[in-house]
Structure 1
Amino acid sequence: MTDRIEHDNPHDLLGTPLPPARTPRSVVVTAAVTDALAVLVFAAVGRASHDEAVGIAGLAGTAWPFLVALAVGWLALRAHRAPRAAWPTGVLLWLVTWGVGMLLRAATGGGTATAFVVVALCFLGLFLVGWRLLARLLGGRSLLPGLSES
């Protein structure tokens, strides 16, 4: 499974090498939205498990450090180049989202109890890497429109 459109001949008519093919925009957008939804599910499940309101304000208050960290990861890692790759894209996005999210949370007075840190590490890993592995196991057939091979 590749994230780039392959060309049979990587040269133009004059034999000049073509630039690398780009990942279709729909794949990049769908992958980024899927990652953001994973973070929002993480925040919603966490709030619900502690009997906290899952309203927009509460959800935003819990999710924002991890959403910012996810955006930082997407930009720093240039995740748009291989947005469906479990390795390295998924694994590195997971670790950046978790690590930078925890730092932002701690810097703004949010809780960083050991149990929360461990649960966040596991949940974000399962979801940010997991959907990419699932897509790979499906061999190009996708549960999510925009993430299939074609």
Structure 2
Amino acid sequence: MTEPRWLDARQQRDWRSFIEGSVRLHDLLERDLKAKHGLSTSEYEIMVRLSEAPGHALRMAELAEHASQSRSRLSHTCGRLESKGLVRRESCANDKRGVFAQLTEEGYAALERAARDHVETVRDFFIDLIAPEDLEAIGRAFTAVSERIATVR
């Protein structure tokens, strides 16, 4: 058995800062969306992905991939959105096994309202705190992380 490649003090500090900051930011975004709009961050993310798709609709399998959720979790989340009248699910006309999720007009209006508040929170607690060159570095770093994770799926 080989010895682990331990983190040095600086790496440990930065790793812990990343973990603590990420968890706190996610919790803040979750609380803010819930309190102001009755949405979880996963519900919001699904609505954003649907709003960006042609016809505001995506196959559930594709939506699960884009929203970084398992199909099972996505199904439960879409069920909550459906019960609120924000999303509807329909069978695919040419593939009876496939299901589309579509953002309703009410869902699009709710997303527009939530997005206005959400972007301000994102700016206040992330974007505006970080120098542009550091923000670009974060973008590059997490693109690399996402690509690396995609190779082990």
Give TM-score scaled by structure 1 length: 0.35
Higher normalized strand content (fraction of residues): 2
Higher normalized helix content (fraction of residues): 2
Give TM-score scaled by structure 2 length: 0.35
